[in-house]
Amino acid sequence: MNHTFIDRYFESHRALLSLDTIGKHEVNSLFTYLNNLHSTADKLKDLFDVNIKDFPDFKLLRIVRNYFHHVGDVNEVRMLVSIEKNVHFDRVQHLIIPLETFAKSVKSFIDNAMVPETNRLYKKKLKYISKEMVSISEAYSYNRDILNNMEMCCNKPSLKLDGEVYELGFDLFRLIHNVTNLIAERCKEVKELSSKPIIKDLGSEFVLSNNIDRMDLFCTPDKMPITTTQGMIYAKKVELVI
């Protein structure tokens, strides 16, 4: 077997995040990548008993994928990290979707998994959902804030920054980076996959030890950026949008 699902995964990852393509927006890149991620996870488990589905970053991306696949569109914007004095990011680019889209993805997951209180499976489903939310909170520290403010977050959450209104965003780059390193390491451990040219040609940076931490930003208090659909904004004045 050629196991071309691995080739499709890494090719779609390259098309989505390669710096060579950062100025060329392709409408299908994110959709294709997320579907290949979903397929790769299934095939790794079915063919080689390799499980990546418990990885928090994967779970979060799967929630976005399922929303994209079954419910609504997901629009993204890519850009290089802007360099500001007294600010350091452990990444070189952003892949941002609207925070509203992520919130709706989480809500869709909960709604689809839940059953009425009268159903005999109610407590089991509630326990499962709670466990999954705790897990993805390991990948996104503000997930609890979204759960506590779901209605607001599903309605184009925005802030007025230095007098201009910006829609809030959610950055997928770190999650995709981390899950790709996980897949790369697992492939190197499987004889049938480690010999594939696309795995042999991976750079030395494709390792779990190169994953980006959840807190990947270091800055002074006066330089705290806010993630928006137009990029990271360094605002001196932050106001609620009434």
Q: What is the mean pLDDT of the chain?
A: 92
Neighbouring C-beta atoms of residue 242, cutoff 10 Å: 4
> Residue range 35-40: average pLDDT?
98
> Residue range 44-63: average pLDDT?
97
Angle between helices 56-70 and 29-48 (to 10 degrees): 120
In angstroms, rounded to a whole number, what is the distance separating the alpha carbons of residues 134 and 217?
22
In the chain, the percentage of residues whose pLDDT exceeds 90 is 70
| 145-154 residue pLDDT tens | 999 999 999 9
pTM of the model: 0.93
Task: State the burial class of residue 77 (Cβ atoms within 10 Å of its Cβ: 0-12, 13-18, 19+).
Answer: middle
**pLDDT of 213 strictly over 90:** no
Which pLDDT value is given to residue 219? 73
**pLDDT of 211 strictly over 90:** yes
Query: CA 19, 229, 9, 201: dihedral to nearest 10 degrees?
Result: 20
Which pLDDT value is given to residue 20? 84
Which pLDDT value is given to residue 63? 97
| 57-103 residue pLDDT tens | 999 999 999 999 989 888 888 888 877 777 777 778 899 999 999 99
Among 43-57, 120-134, 159-173, 214-228, which is the least confidently predicted range? Answer: 214-228
Helix H or strand E segment including 167 = strand 164-167
Which pLDDT value is given to residue 85? 74
Neighbouring C-beta atoms of residue 32, cutoff 10 Å: 17
> Domain segments of the chain: what residues?
4-155+174-222
Task: State the burial class of residue 226 (Cβ atoms within 10 Å of its Cβ: 0-12, 13-18, 19+).
Answer: middle
- Amino acid at position 31, single letter: F
